[in-house]
Amino acid sequence: MTAPKAMKGPAIFLAQFGGDTAPFDALAPIAKWAADLGYKGIQVPCDPRFIDLDRAATSQTYCDEINGVCADAGVAITELSTHIQGQLVAVHPAFAPQFDAFAPSHLRGKAQAEWAAGECIKAAKASRNLGLSVQVGFSGALAWPYLYPWPQRPAGLVEEAFDELARRWTPVLNACDENGVDYAYELHPGEDLMDGASFERFLEATDHHPRVGIAYDPSHFVLQQLDYLAFIDLYHDRIKAFHVKDAEFNPTGRQGVYSGFSPWAERAGRFRSLGDGQVNFAAIFSKLAQYGYESWAVLEWECAIKSPAQGAAEGAPFIRRHIIEPTPRAFDDFASADTSRDELRRMLGLQEEPAE
C-alpha cells in the first residue's frame, strides 16, 4: 500500500500583498520575500505585475521561465488565482459600479462576463503549462441581492439564477477539463456559491461537472456560523485547495451575523490573523489529513487589527506547526498477528461440531 503524503506548505496568497513598490511589484522580488519568511509556495493572482496571462496560456517557454524565477527564489507556484476575473463572470447590475474597476479600462461600463470567462479559460491553459492541476477563484453572483427572502422571492428566481450561472461557467469548466485542471471555487458571502447548500445547487446545475471543486476557507464559515468541520466530512472529495485564514464571531446585544453595516474592526464577525481568531485549525488539519488531502495549505491574510507584515511573518511557522505527517501504519500494529480463518471462526464461537 502506498504511504499517504503530507499536505504541502506553508504557502501564501499574494493578492493581499501586491503593490506598486518593491518587493511587492513583480514576481521575482515578491517570491523571494515569501521564501525569506519561510514559505515554500505562492498562490499567484492573474495580475499583470506577476504574470502575463496571454503569454502563459500560449507559451511553454514563458511558463518554464516563470517556474524558474520561482525556483530560484526558493518557492513553487501552488495555484493561479482568478478571483477577480471569476467575480466578473456574473455580476448583478446593482453591484456593477463597485466591480467596474476589476475590468480593464477599455471594458469599464460595458459587458464584462465574456471577457472574464475568457481570462479564466486562459488561466486553465496557463495552469497546464505551469504544471498545475488546480485554479482558484470566485463564482460571481446573480442571486445574492435576494439572499434574505423578504419580500418573498418569486418561484423560480433562484433556480433561474443558478441555471444562468452554470451556463456561463460551463465553457470555463470544459476548458479546465481539457487542460487537466480543477476549478476550486472559494465559497464566500457575496458570491452565489457561499456554503454547502449553494454549492450543491451549482453542482446540480452543472450536471455534477467533474472539474467543479472547492477552495476550503473556514473563516467564511465562522462568519456564517456554519459547522466548518462537518463541512469537510460532507465535501472532502471536492476540496481541491485550502486557504488557511482565521476569523472570530462575537455576537452582542447590538449585532449578530449581519453586523448592522459596521466597519470591519467593529463587526461581530471579522477576519483575524492566524491564531488570533476562533478557528480550530488543529481539528481542520486533522480532518484534511484523515481524508487524504495532499495539496497546499495557503495563508490568506486578512485582518482588521494586525499589520500585514506581522501577519505574513507569523503565518509560515503557524502553518508548519499544524501540517500533519500521516502515519504509514496503525499505532497498534505491534500487537497484530496472523490469524487463520479457522482461528477467526473459533474466536466467534463458530467452531464446527466434531463428527461422531
pLDDT mean over 272-289: 98
- The rounded percent of the chain whose pLDDT value lies above 90 is 92
Question: What would the DSSP string read from start to end of 316-338?
Answer: HHHHHHH-----SS-TTGGG---
Confidence grade of residue 355 (pLDDT, cut at 50, 70, 90)? low
Reference 123, options 185, 206, 67, 52; nearest CA is 52
pLDDT mean over 325-351: 84
- For residue 287, pLDDT beyond 80: yes
Q: How many CA atoms lie within 13 A of 260 on its CB side?
A: 10
- For residue 52, pLDDT beyond 90: yes
Q: What pLDDT does residue 178 have?
A: 98
Q: What pLDDT does residue 333 have?
A: 72
Instruction: Give the global pTM.
Output: 0.94
By the 8 A CB rule, do 42 and 17 touch? no
Confidence grade of residue 331 (pLDDT, cut at 50, 70, 90)? confident
By the 8 A CB rule, do 10 and 38 touch? yes
- For residue 332, pLDDT beyond 80: no
CB-based burial of residue 163 (10 Å sphere; 0-12 exposed, 13-18 middle, 19+ buried)? middle
Angle at 342 between CA 336 and CA 347, to 5 degrees: 65
- For residue 1, pLDDT beyond 60: no
- For residue 13, pLDDT beyond 80: yes
- Nearest-angstrom CA–CA distance, 87 and 69: 29
